[in-house]
Amino acid sequence: MSSIPVQSPLTFPAWPQHGAEEREGLLHVLEQEGWWRNGGSEVDSFEREFADLHGAHRAIATTNGTHALELALSVLGVGPGDEVIVPAFTFIATSLAVQRVGAVPVPCDVRPDTYNLDVEAAARLVTPRTKVVMPVHMAGQLADMDALAELAAATGVTVLQDAAHAHSARWRGSRVGELGSIAAFSFQNGKLMTAGEGGAVLLPDDETHREAYLRHGCGRPPGDRLYAHLTQGSNFRMNEFSATVLRGQLSRLEAQVTLREERSRHLAALLGAIPGVVPQDRDERCDRMAHYMAMVRLPGITRDRRLAVVDALLEHGVPAFVAFPPVYRTAGYFQGPAVGDVDEIAKRCPVSEEIGSDCLWLHHRVLLADTPVLDRLAEVFADVVAAN
């Protein structure tokens, strides 16, 4: 517990946020003839609007972000015997989606500045079995898409973007859907837009869209009345209630991301001035960062002390969390195809080892607060770090 007196806990904008758009949409769906995508138009409309916002050819809405990754991997033909390079430092869903389609996730180290996939390290991991490299746009900062395009061209490996944190982000002026590869998003409760759960896959052409549509609905084509299951798949379909909520969320996303961009630079400067605190760095080629988290490292801190810092911040009303452990340090990683020895993997992922031990993050709703609140947050952060 913190030794710093808690006089008046900080308050931040609530999350999730909602308004008349979601309320009216839910009532509309409640009264319509059907509540699944084949009984209304909300899912279709959301897919079109989400694809348009991100510059993609088409989109498929899914039940959640993990299913979006599984669907994308399936569309790319990934299965047993294949390898998929994933960042070692990421939420476990990135790895689990690979395991669920029967493939082997191969953890790759990340960069110490952006926490994104180290593309040079990924190149060393490519084997004849490697089918996909899956960068995660950590905290809404796009991975090095230039280097990934070069890797794909040199090796024939396909890029699949895990864009769960990257709604409305851009790389050198290009939106996620304009980068030439499939991208998967999450709408889980804490994400930048949410229906509690949900996901989406952006598709670059008609062929991948057709395959994704089939596979997300048990292999059935649009309008099927004869149970013509044309391929394998599962039921990853989004319902009309989730879709109408997401249409409301989408209506305010751009303004929120713009505000977070402005506030994040202010907060990063404040936190970076605190001794022993190192904020996530920015690759300026990512000229619009979505800011799912405000991430910082406390180099040299022990795991117990890091948890004490997070607990103390929570006492002060700051929505703080310890960062993910490397995926190979979770039991779930080893419950699938052969994935290697943990100590062996750790040797090639020294940066992920460090970040997994000393990183913490603040929820993106802090970046919707006014600057005086952020000034006070930095003061509390400095006091808490000094006391722990």
Active-site pick, 227, 304, 343, 347: 227
Question: Is residue 13 one of the residues assigned to a domain?
Answer: no
Annotated catalytic residue 335: no
Question: Is residue 297 one of the residues assigned to a domain?
Answer: yes
Active-site pick, 54, 165, 209, 316: 165
Residues 151 and 268 in one domain: no
Residues 331 and 265 in one domain: yes
Question: Is residue 122 one of the residues assigned to a domain?
Answer: yes
Residues 169 and 30 in one domain: yes
Residues 288 and 178 in one domain: no
Last residue of a domain, one of 248, 281, 307: 248
Residues 122 and 261 in one domain: no
Residues 77 and 214 in one domain: yes
Question: Is residue 10 one of the residues assigned to a domain?
Answer: no
The overall average pLDDT reported for the chain is 96
Residues 224 and 262 in one domain: no
Annotated catalytic residue 162: yes
Annotated catalytic residue 165: yes
Question: Is residue 11 one of the residues assigned to a domain?
Answer: no
> In the chain, how many domains are there?
2
Among candidate residues 296, 253, 285, 357, the one with its CA nearest the CA of residue 141: 285
- Find the CATH number of the domain harbouring 122: 3.40.640.10
> How does pLDDT run across 112-149, given as a tens digit for each residue?
999 999 999 999 999 999 999 999 999 999 999 999 99
Annotated catalytic residue 91: yes
Annotated catalytic residue 333: no
> How does pLDDT run across 257-306, given as a tens digit for each residue?
999 999 999 999 999 999 999 999 999 999 999 999 999 999 999 989 99
Active-site pick, 167, 220, 288, 316: 220
Active-site pick, 82, 109, 118, 162: 162
Annotated catalytic residue 297: no
Q: What is the pLDDT of residue 101?
A: 97
Residues 237 and 268 in one domain: no
Dihedral sign, Cα of residue 185, residue 188, residue 194, residue 198: positive
Strand blocks (E) in 215-335: 278-279, 293-297, 320-322
Tens digit of pLDDT per residue, the chain (388 long)? 455 666 689 999 999 999 999 999 999 999 998 999 998 999 999 999 999 999 999 999 999 999 999 999 999 999 999 999 999 999 999 999 999 999 999 999 999 999 999 999 999 999 999 999 999 999 999 999 999 999 999 999 999 999 999 999 999 999 999 999 999 999 999 999 999 999 999 999 999 999 999 999 999 999 999 999 999 999 999 999 999 999 999 999 999 999 999 999 999 999 999 999 999 999 999 999 999 999 999 999 998 999 999 999 999 999 999 999 999 999 999 887 777 889 999 999 999 999 999 999 999 999 999 999 999 999 999 999 999 8
> How does pLDDT run across 224-238, given as a tens digit for each residue?
999 999 999 999 999
Residues 151 and 283 in one domain: no
Residues 6+ apart with CB under 8 A from 329: 342, 346, 356
Active-site pick, 209, 215, 216, 237: 237
Q: What is the pLDDT of residue 8?
A: 81
Strand blocks (E) in 215-288: 278-279
Question: Is residue 7 one of the residues assigned to a domain?
Answer: no
Active-site pick, 54, 131, 191, 316: 191
- Find the CATH number of the domain harbouring 279: 3.90.1150.10
Query: Domain range holding 121?
Result: 20-248
